[in-house]
Chains A and B, each alone.
Chain A
Amino acid sequence: MTALSQQYDQRMRKDTRIRRLVTLFGGGILVLLLVIVWHLVSQTAPLFISPSFEKAQTFDFPDRIVLSVGDILEDGLLVQQASPCGIETAQVSEQNKVVDRILKPCTHSLSIREERDQRWLFDISANGQVRIQGIDGDNATYAFALPETDWQQRLETDYAISLPHIAIRVTTASQHLIFWVDTRRLTDIHKDEYPASDAVVLLPGQQKVVTFQGRKIALTERGRESRQTYQHDYPINWIGRIENSRSLYVSDRSGKVERWVVVNKSGRFEYVKTYSLFLEDNEQPLTVQAHANTNAGFVLTDMGRLILFNRVSGELLDIIQLVDIPISWSWYGNRLYLVYPGKVDVWTINNLAGVNTPTSLFVPQWYEGYLGPEHVYQTSSGRDFNEAKYALIPLLMGSLKAALAALVVAIPVSIGAAIYTGFFTTRRWRKSIKPAIEMLEAVPSVVIGFIAAVALAPVADKLLTSLLLFIVTLPLLLFVVALFQHRIAVKMPTRLRFGADIAAITLCTLVWAGLSLYVADSVMPIEIFSGSSKTTLIVAIALGLAISSTIYTLAEDAIESVPSGLKNASFALGATRLQTLRNIVLRVAMPGLIAAVMLGFGRAFGETMIVLMVTGNTPIPSWDLFESLRALTANIAIELPEADTGGALYSVLFFTALTLFIFTFIVNTVAEWLRYGMREKVKYD
């Protein structure tokens, strides 16, 4: 007996163990969902946290003069003064081992300029012989000669390089001499003269020079043939440019710094004002620098303030007060190196991806080259100093456009079919038709997309015209048949009567569709549609087909589950089937129908393959049905494999994924609630 008792206890214990295990798995569902949400949110979070400066470390170089630094934390080189004259590059990570040394006579003027990650040494001899050579990267060397007399009269010089153009400013007592050199034709040096009263900024990339005095700004081309003038509202005290010269920053005495961007106004390149940054009274920028692959930029002012900002939207992100003003600076990734005479301070920027604030994703931004603020989505790669354009509105509009167009196609078809099989036909027909339509649900979307892209898209023109013809004539056809249908139907044997409906219609549809395809070319000219993108139409058809089955299943369920007691009551009062449908069935089934449409919409919004394969995937923020589109989902599929983990694009893509998740969550919950409510209502049957 005891053994048996033991056995019972054993069984109970096993039962408890298993119960714990199963509960674990049950709770695991919730855990999974939470993990998914948490992960999406955590990867999106950087967008919502503002970037900030943090002092990382200081490299002391007490025994040398540091001229410029590369990315020394990532094995970059340091450029220091060589003795007696010249420069040396040293590897900081290897105990400052000297890698290269370029000695020059001390009578030469040496200067280092950086453009797009490449540093150049400008070496000009006493008599104007110029030698420009690349430091630690491009090893090119360019040699040419400036006029000796001009050179020897110099009081001040400035250099700028943007291959293949080089500009050198020699300021004498009375004028600024600007020498333009093209590396492709080094002997051909062009000299322009400007009055010394103007302040000059070189824009070598565009072969232009900005001069300003008082409130006037002038942009003059090399050769002084073309000139644009602008009037500013305050006297200007400084103008700076960023790496690609497509943006200028104009600082005036009111403490305002305005960003001007270049635009193409009917063939001419001009600058227009965008936003303003506000400094303290009497504060003036020393430099404005752009980040190589995000939209960040910083302003270093003469009061020692370092301002981090989004250079497209103008939003200020972080401001710190430096103790001293650095003599040179470099910016790599999230590391900002500030060079002082005997040391280099390294500042890290936390959460640099946060430069793309949520506002910048949804509000129109004014990018370089655009005539006004616009929603633009265009990703760039590498360190090319291009502005990252992450407007999400075009993608949202694309997804909405595709989903709504699909609904326009899907709703009439699926609801009509649901009414037909759920209400009008007999049980026998329903048993055969319903599973057939539900098979459509099983077709993989990649297959639908394939057929749409490969078979439908090439004949889109013809398809569009024949479709229009078909739709226009269809009501007429249905009407004509309807006039006679009832009379013929009552004469037919009962068994065939219901089937005759669908058989006749199927036949007619086939015949008429075929006819309209043939006839379309001659009736309507196809050319009215050529030239515009018909991808939205094809997407509407393909996506509509894909979601039709979803909507059909749920709508049919709703209609069929209307209690027969209600329907019979209506019939008993003499109502026709149509009247019963309108007054009773649709009214009762309405929540279910709405839920079906909502779920179909959710599915269309979240569908990837069809929009990816059929549309041109160009993110155009337009509701025009004849423009291509890019959907939110397709965007993720295209961009995510190439995005750097933790970068701005990565966070933006996760943000879109989170949006999709939340959207479908809400739609699905509301739809389920509607369906639940409907089921409760009809439960008494």
Chain B
Amino acid sequence: MIRPISPQQRQSLVINACAFATATLLLALVALVGYMTWRGSAFIWPDPIYLVQYNEPDGEVKQAYAQWHKGAADNSTVRLSVSTSSRPYQTQSILDASQFLFSEEVEQAAQIELVDGRTILAVPAAVSDVNNAQLPLSELSVQTRSEDIIDRRIAYIRRVELARLHENIAIYNRREVEAEAPGRLQLEKAYAALQEELRLLEKKQQAYTLTVRFYDGETFSIQLADIARITYPSTMSLPDKAKAAAISLWYFLTDSPKQANTAGGVFPALFGTVVMVFLMTIIVAPFGVLAAVYLHEYAPKNPFTAMLRICVSNMAAVPSIVYGVFGLGFMVYTLGGQIDSLFFADTLPNPTMGAPGLFWAAATMALLTLPVVIVATEEGLSRVPNSLRMGSYALGATKFETVWRTVLPIASPSMMTGLILAIARAAGEVAPLMLVGAVRFAPDLPIDGTFPYFHLDRQFMHLGVLIYDGAFNSQPDTKGAAMMFAACSLLLLVVLILNIVAVVLRTRLRERYQ
């Protein structure tokens, strides 16, 4: 009854099994990227606002404005983000499916995003000025625009003009100019004038309030100055939604994290990552390229060179955390401690370079990615046809001249590939950074307006570390997790794009010199 399997069928079985394995890997990749993007885009895509009616556990029937959550796990629970008069700033509500009664979209309800990251869902009722006079709602957009202008002016005064005055006063202090000098008095007068202007502006800023109403009729006042953005997501058409999503994306990239990494943006982490990667590239590029040039062009064919190649290959295989350990123990404590005792002895026992910071993080990552750069550069060098070298030597060029004028220019795309791969690795590697300077929250950016502008000893934020922190602190289905998913998508996107560029470069090169 059971026919023996023919060789063809046996072969088909094996082919199927192998094809299945391949499919699994491909599907895993697609699922990873797709899931990440889907959950991440929920963060920037506007959610319509509904009026939801449900049963409270105590039997009461409640109606409120709410938004649904994407990424809800299963069918038996419903997750809402609700704004009520007793809890105006969106709160999570997890309901059982049985408690849920009905919902309908509400067009007049607005999503009011505050500057501190919290959100309120309510219907705007009126705008009042400092005298409590009611203005029509149409004035809202006008008022928000003038608020924006005031905000910008205040920020400008603080950031530029006051800072400039501070600097000048500091210079005077250093030169020990006396308090009665006319220059100094002038500065102080200007300072006072600016302070006064600030005071008036801030008063003006706080003059206007927006009154909103919740479903139960209760009103709530919000200062216009506290509002970052008001949108009506239920009224948006698809192009509108796309535009709103683009604006949200912009905020995501330029804002700081707020509300414990559940709102706001990832700018400090992005900035920190970029600065560290830039610093790392400056360190690793010359070292890696020169080492590869030595290995390929200058090194004699003896066991010592073979051993060097083994060293490079092993350095590539060492777990990244071991580099972090080395970075912390040797670079931060030993080298940094030495530097402190030589150059920063007056600020001891507070460490300057003797503590984890930007420079040591960049140095550690340079060490980590060194093998990548060396291998890629060497590959590029090996693809330069030897006949070109011979041609150059025959014209009397020295070895350096041959390498510099002929070999390296041809190999430069490979060098670029190596650097790009190194950058991709540094952007995504987290373990060593946690030990040598990346932190969950850094109060300042590593580059700012105060001398010496480039703070190599500061701790910084990193996109990968932010994600790691997010995994530990957020629950999977809250709105806060959406921001973490967005951060994850951003990191994934950046790394994948870098890698694709590197692969394309490498393939084009191979074809060029085939």
Residues of A within 8 A of B (CB): 11-12, 14-15, 18-19, 21-23, 25-30, 32-33, 35-36, 39-40, 43, 412-417, 419-421, 424, 433, 435-440, 442-451, 453-455, 458-459, 474, 478-479, 481-483, 485-486, 489, 501-502, 504-506, 509-510, 545, 548-549, 552, 576-579, 581, 599, 602-603, 605-609, 612-613, 633, 636-637, 640-641, 645, 653-654, 657, 660-661, 664-665, 667-669, 672
Contact = CB atoms under 8 A, between A and B. Distances in A.
B484 interface: yes
A62 to B, nearest CB: 36
A510 B20 CA distance: 10
Contacts of B503: 435, 438
A417 B22 contact: yes
Nearest to A453: B471
25 contacts: A19-B298, A22-B290, A26-B291, A29-B291, A33-B311, A36-B326, A414-B21, A420-B22, A433-B26, A446-B468, A448-B32, A450-B468, A453-B472, A458-B476, A482-B10, A483-B12, A485-B9, A505-B19, A506-B26, A606-B318, A606-B321, A608-B319, A664-B314, A664-B317, A672-B313
A482 B11 CA distance: 8
Nearest to A513: B27
Q: Main SS of the interface on chain B?
A: helix
B310 A669 contact: yes
Nearest to B8: A486
B468 A660 contact: no
Given A436-B26, A440-B29, A442-B496, A609 B430 contact: yes
Contacts of B26: 433, 436-437, 506
A454 B428 contact: no
Given A509-B24, A657-B321, 10 more contacts: A22-B298, A30-B311, A444-B429, A444-B430, A444-B495, A446-B468, A509-B20, A602-B317, A608-B320, A665-B318
Interface of B: 7-29, 32, 35-36, 39, 73, 287, 290-291, 293-295, 297-299, 307-308, 310-315, 317-322, 324-326, 328-330, 333-334, 367, 370, 374, 398-401, 424, 427-431, 434-435, 464, 467-468, 470-472, 474, 476, 481, 484, 488, 491-492, 495-496, 498-500, 503
A576 B7 contact: yes
A421 B22 CA distance: 8
B495 A637 contact: no
B319 A607 contact: yes
A653 B326 CA distance: 11
B481 A454 contact: yes
B430 A437 contact: no
Contact of B326 (A39, A421, A437, A603): A39
A11 B16 contact: no
Contact of A444 (B299, B313, B435, B492): B492
**Shortest beta-carbon contacts, A-B, top 8:** A444-B428, A416-B21, A606-B319, A26-B294, A420-B18, A15-B398, A25-B290, A608-B431
Contact of A11 (B39, B290, B398, B471): B398
A440 B319 contact: no
B11 A22 contact: no
Given A18-B400, A447-B36, A640 B328 contact: yes
B493 to A, nearest CB: 10
B329 A608 contact: no
A11 B492 CA distance: 49
Given A436-B26, A506-B23, A637-B434, A451 B298 contact: no
B117 to A, nearest CB: 21
A657 B315 CA distance: 14
A502 B491 CA distance: 30
A458 B478 CA distance: 13
Given A19-B399, A420-B22, A641-B434, A439 B293 contact: no
A442 B499 contact: yes
B320 A606 contact: yes
Contacts of A43: 329
B28 A545 contact: yes
A510 B495 CA distance: 27
Contacts of A413: 21, 24-25
User: Which of A43, A454, A581 has the most chain B CB within a 10 Å cutoff?
Assistant: A454
B401 A11 contact: yes
B9 A482 contact: yes
Given A451-B32, A478-B17, A609-B431, A664 B24 contact: no
Given A26-B299, A414-B25, A447-B488, A645 B333 contact: yes
B391 to A, nearest CB: 18
A439 B291 CA distance: 28
Contacts of B19: 420, 424, 501-502, 504-506
Nearest to A599: B317
Contact of B330 (A11, A35, A424): A35
A654 B431 contact: no
B21 to A, nearest CB: 3
Given A576-B7, A633-B431, A424 B294 contact: no
Nearest to A444: B428
A30 B10 CA distance: 52
Nearest to A416: B21
Contact of A641 (B293, B295, B435, B496): B435
Contacts of A669: 310, 314
A444 B491 contact: yes
B7 A424 contact: no
Given A505-B23, A609-B468, A478 B13 contact: yes
Contacts of A440: 25, 28-29
Given A15-B398, A19-B399, A654-B325, A479 B13 contact: yes
A418 to B, nearest CB: 8
Contact of A417 (B8, B25, B468): B25
B29 A26 contact: no
Contact of B294 (A22, A35, A664): A22
B471 A416 contact: no
A25 B287 contact: yes
A19 B467 CA distance: 45
B311 A29 contact: yes
A424 B484 CA distance: 41
B20 A416 contact: yes
